[in-house]
Structure 1
Amino acid sequence: MGRVVIAPDSYKGSVSALGVAEAMARGVRQVFPQADIRKIPIADGGEGTVEALVCATSGRVREAEVVDPLGRKIRVQWGVLGDGRTAVIEMAAASGLPLLHQDERDPRKATTFGTGQLIRRCLDAGLRNIIIGIGGSATNDGGAGMARALGVRFLADDGSELPEGGAELARLKRIDLTDIDPRVAEATITVACDVDNPLCGPRGASAVFGPQKGATPEIVAELDAALAHFAERAQIATGRDVATLPGAGAAGGLGAGLMFFTPAKLRPGVEIVLDAVGFAEIVREADFVITGEGRTDFQTAYGKAPVGVAKVAKQFGVPVFCLSGGLGHGAEDVLACGIDAVMSICDRPMALEECIAGAPALIESGSTRLCRIIKAARMGR
């Protein structure tokens, strides 16, 4: 056995991308002890994006005080890349779903204000090149909270400011850009986006991602209508028509908000990370690649990390195997995206809590099982 490339995303809420890579490497060693194992922790714009890019470029981590999706003060990390000129932030750090307890999740009320505060911290530090990872949100406010933190005002019929949250956008009458931070126009903002969904409709932010944030079917309909109304008002205020663009529906519509109110350009997050680590040069000599994530389902095929890894590996004809914490509806869709096989780390029926608690050991043993299959297949050639 020659080179094995291990390039997983984090198992969110359980193990970091680096931790997953190390566990996978231990499993591979059980079967291929002499292999040249290359561990490449990656991210696609969600949790772990700051860590992946800071590590890949020998940058540094900073801290800031912002508010969480419900307006409570928290301290979060952001990064400066090795060039000293580029900032990287994760909206998940300030406005992410893991920041809320299960009974606190309500996309009608959650705000991206803290994400806007992080952007402002970057500008305060003199950084005008900003990468923003927008996966893992708890929000569905179209990025209105983010824009409000940068000075944009969202007004109701009576001229009063709307409260935070996606549901309030249904009452939006006018958007006032007078006081937007002028430094925003000077910035180059690259949005690391892990999905290609539009803002509204059956594949929009509310319908696809709302349920995991606590939205019932009735709330989904309410939020989708509110975002459609918001898009109309934002187009009038900015002259930009972005609601149907791929990625506009990412992070509860933050993708759209960034395109409406900043000079942001969306790009697949995993591509940004893979370019930073020089993945193409590493994978071209590989015998096979193991990737993975916490849960693989129909959303993965929209452009999440494992599919991004496979896209590069397939340029060189390298087999790609996806080993994930769990498999959901539509997991087989990734087989049309360059992934050769997909399997779960679970080796028996178990509750989610048990799987999370034992994830490192399960990842290791799952990697060993996978490699035994690969070895047997190679011997049978």
Structure 2
Amino acid sequence: MFDALKLGAKIECDTFDPLRRSLKASYYGFKDGKTAWIELSQASGLALLNDSEKNPLLTSTYGTGLQINHALENGFTTIILGIGGSATHDLGTGIFEALGGKLLDHTKNSLHAKGEHLARCTELDFKNLNTKLLNTTTIVACDVTNTLLGKTGAAYTYAPQKGASPAVVAQLEEGATHFAKLVQQKRNKDLTQIKGGGAAGGTAAGMFGLFDSTLKPGFDLLSDLTALEERVREADLLITGEGKTDNQSQYGKVPFKLAELAKKYHKPLLLFAGSVSATPEILTRAGITAAYAIKTETMTLDYAKTHAYSLLKDAVLKNLKNHI
């Protein structure tokens, strides 16, 4: 069985949540002492906020940037950034700010990085950026394929899950469009055409534009580390899950990537999620044998979160017998 501890260990550091409140969060340092895996959700994740706090105009990836900075100062020279579960739509500008960069408005005043300030930024200041980045490789582990802008882009596809109203979605789209033009002018980097650039509120695109990061499928990175394909080939039954499975999950989310392997080796795959709204046609076509929601329509979200373990256990035990 895969044992993560044989590959390295968790490292805890002081950082901030999406609203810049202090917290401690961890990242993973591999035993080579050179490679660190940082999950954006640890400091910039939606799960760190209650429902009334969710607003991608106000949230930031600044805390994730502090984690990256901690890794750099501790000698890691390859940073892999996993970007699932974000609460943000700041195009990674919070990371840029935390690493010493500055966003300036038309009066040369500094702006705090967050979604509502993208449209106000007219200059990027790299002078005080952490110099260790010059000798660091940054890789964004990105499984979704959405580009930054448009109806299947970051704002329209993902911002509503983060608390954005239709008006806020339009504002975020406008801000991202403006910022992409700025990066094109200043860095000669086109953020709009990158496959996966819309992931995590445009963090993937921002990392590419601001840090020359490479985007690679996170599923493939982890699959290689865990010899996943071989394990799927030897398995009799696969079980996977995510918080919410809807039609956008087909754009590279882990359950659908796992389903590709399930189809390849003709293995049944069961999906358990908090809620399932993806159409049966999409699920079947992907290779998902059956999908089960652990939250009922009459159950409150707070109850589902509090009792997630028992609800998942009951759902698995109830439905597994139909497939063995």
TM-score by length of 1: 0.79
- Give yes or no for contact 1:296–1:331 (8 Å, CA) kept in 2: no
Q: Tell me, in whole angstroms, the C-alpha distance in 1 between the residues paired with 2:308 and 2:115.
A: 35
User: How far off is 1:352 after superposition?
Assistant: 3.1
The answer to whether the Cα contact below 8 Å between 1:294 and 1:324 also exists between their aligned partners in 2 is yes
Alignment of 1:12-51 (within 5 A): none
Work out which of the residue numbers 263, 266, 269 in structure 1 matches 2:218: 269
User: Which amino acid in 2 is paired with 1:59?
Assistant: G
In the alignment, is residue 111 of structure 1 matched against residue 60 of structure 2? yes
Q: Where does residue 24 of structure 1 map in the other structure? A: none
Structure 1, residues 278-324: CA drift from partner, whole Å, max 9, x if none?
11111212222121222211122111111121222332222222122
1:192 aligns with 2:141: yes
Q: Which amino acid aligns with 1:312?
A: L
| Structure 2 residue 204 is matched with structure 1 residue 260 | no
What percent of counterpart residues are identical? 36
**What displacement does 1:147 show?**
0.8
SS of corresponding position for 1:284: helix
Distance in 1 separating the partners of 2:310 and 2:109: 54
What is the number of residues matched between the two proteins? 324
Q: In the TM superposition, what is the alpha-carbon distance from 1:252 to its structure 2 partner? A: 0.9
- Alignment partner of 2:171 out of 222, 244, 248: 222
Match of 2:262 in 1: 313
Judged with a 3 Å threshold, the aligned counterparts in structure 2 of structure 1 residues 110 and 286 are, in CA distance, closer, same or farther, namely: same
**Larger mean Cα displacement after TM superposition, 70-79 or 365-374:** 365-374
The separation in 2 between residues aligned to 1:345 and 1:101, in whole angstroms, is 20
More displaced stretch, 305-314 vs 201-210: 305-314
What residue is the counterpart of 1:82 in the other structure? 31
SS of 1:322's partner is strand
Aligned match of 1:10 = none
Q: Which residue does 1:167 correspond to in 2? A: 116
The CA distance in 2 between the partners of 1:108 and 1:365, in whole Å, is 38
| Counterpart secondary structure, 1:210 | helix
CA contact (8 A) 1:56 1:277 kept: no
Q: Alpha-carbon deviation of 1:109?
A: 1.6
Deviations 1:180-234 (A, max 9, x none): 2232132122212232111111111111111121211111111100110000001
1:292 match: secondary structure: strand
Supply the distance in 1 between the matched residues of 2:297 and 2:171 (Cα, whole angstroms): 40
Tell me which moved more, 184-193 or 248-257.
184-193
Q: Report the residue type matching 1:108 in the other structure.
A: L
Match of residue 284, structure 2, among 320, 324, 335: 335
CA contact (8 A) 1:176 1:237 kept: no
Hey, what's the Cα distance between the residues in 2 that align with 1:261 and 1:331? 40
Point out where structure 2 has 5 or more consecutive residues left out of the alignment: none
Q: TM-score, normalised by structure 2?
A: 0.93
- Report the equivalent of 1:132: 81
Query: 2:97, 2:113 within 8 Å by CA — same for their partners in 1?
Result: no
Structure with more contact order per residue of length (Cα contacts < 8 Å, sep ≥ 6) = 1
**Larger displacement relative to structure 2 (323-332 or 226-235):** 323-332
CA distance in 1, matches of 2:316, 2:297: 15
Alpha-carbon distance between aligned partners in 2 of 1:165 and 1:292, rounded to the nearest angstrom? 30
Structure 1 unaligned runs (5+)?
1-37, 41-53, 376-381
The equivalent residue for 2:273 is 324
Quote how far apart the aligned CAs of 1:64 are: 0.9
CA deviations 1:13-37 (Å, max 9, x no partner) are: xxxxxxxxxxxxxxxxxxxxxxxxx
Measured against aligned partners, the alpha-carbon deviations of 1:109-168 in whole angstroms (never above 9, x if no partner) come to 211111111111111011111111111111111111111122222111111112331111
1:248-283 Cα offsets, whole Å, 9 max, x none, are 111111111110111311122222222211111112
Q: How does 1:52-71 map to 2 (within 5 A)?
A: 55=4, 57-71=6-20
Residue 95 in structure 1 maps to residue 76 in structure 2: no
The one-letter amino acid of 1:109's match is L
Over alpha carbons, which structure has the higher Rg? 1
In the alignment, the residues of structure 2 paired with residue 173 and residue 119 of structure 1 have an alpha-carbon distance, to the nearest angstrom, of: 25
- Quick check: 1:242 aligned with 2:191? yes
- RMSD of the TM alignment (CA)? 2.1
